Amino acid sequence: MLSELVAKTLKPVFSDAAWNRLRHLDPRARGRDERAAKDEALQAARQAARREAKATEERERAAADLSTRSLTELAQHFKTDKWGRHRYTPHYERHLSHLKNTSFTLFEIGIGGYANSGEGGASLRMWKEFFPRAQILGLDIEDKSFVDAERIRSYVGSQVDEELLHRIVAEADNLQVVIDDGSHRSEHIVQTFAMLFPLLPLGGIYVIEDTQTSYWEKYGGSLDLDTPGTSMNMVKQMLDGLNYEEYAPHDYEPTYSELHVVGVHAYHNLVFIEKGLNNEEEEFRRIRVVRAARAAATAPTPDPAS
């Protein structure tokens, strides 16, 4: 009571600064201030902890939301043109879902984002979320190292640099998928396939995007559907190559592609090529060769006099 009376009497006489100095001469006031400061600090710490817990919960919820999304939803989230401008993601999900929870490497040629510096990598981020145990590699003619992150690695160089492609594959762990979304030039697509397809293991999948450029002259394509050297001409040859054992002569030497392409799935501007051993008719072919040899050996010898 006395302290309150003193405060009422003296406080109006002093300035605020002077009164505060006088108050701190009172040990009880000093103690109250210290307790108040401690309470305030504790309250601030509790609020900070609550904010961090909420942020962590939101991050975990966001991560959980991404992990359950379809590939199309992830494409929309990361703003890749594999859905929207194109309609690729449903086909990708159909052909690659068996790899969803396995450890493997996906290698995409072409990282994108050429309109503005520091852009690109949307599809790499999409693949990372869709395949939670996969390593994602990207190759681009420009430096896109800003996309590098956990489980994402970029390389700089040309898609027809054979030495670089061999190095990338050698550094990859269990390469299972190659996606050519690079220059879209027919000569590059054909050359890259010739270099990379043999490096894929059996069971691997090779994808070519944006095959509409096969018909565009400025990309080395042609409106003449039989023009050799275009990307779609290569794909159409694969279809015949799947059945080479049915029409080739017994002494025919099949190409690497004919021996190892076991499936071709073509969609609008998108092609999936499956790798395996294309030798379903090998035994029948061996029998035909043996029969032909026997027939030649038992054929009557022409009479020189006749």
Which residues 6+ apart lie within 8 Å of 57 measured at CB? Answer: none
Task: Please state, in angstroms and rounded to a whole number, the distance separating the CA atoms of residues 283 and 115.
Answer: 55
Predicted confidence at residue 45, as pLDDT, reads 81
pLDDT in tens, 214-262: 999 988 989 989 899 999 999 999 999 999 988 888 889 999 999 999 9
Q: Which of these ranges, 55-69, 184-198, 266-280, has the smallest mean pLDDT?
A: 55-69
Which residues 6+ apart lie within 8 Å of 80 measured at CB? Answer: 112, 122, 123, 126
Task: Give the active site residue among 184, 250, 260, 265.
Answer: 184
Q: Give CATH 3.40.50.150 domain extents, the chain.
A: 71-285
96's tokens? 């690659």
184 is catalytic: yes
Task: Please state, in angstroms and rounded to a whole number, the distance separating the CA atoms of residues 122 and 107.
Answer: 14
109 - beta bridge partners?
139, 180
Nearest CA among 257, 248, 260 for reference residue 285: 248
The rounded mean pLDDT for the chain is: 85
If one looks up domain 71-285 in CATH, what number appears?
Answer: 3.40.50.150
H/E element, 152:
strand 152-156
Predicted confidence at residue 33, as pLDDT, reads 67
pLDDT tier for residue 51 given thresholds of 50, 70 and 90: confident
Predicted confidence at residue 302, as pLDDT, reads 66
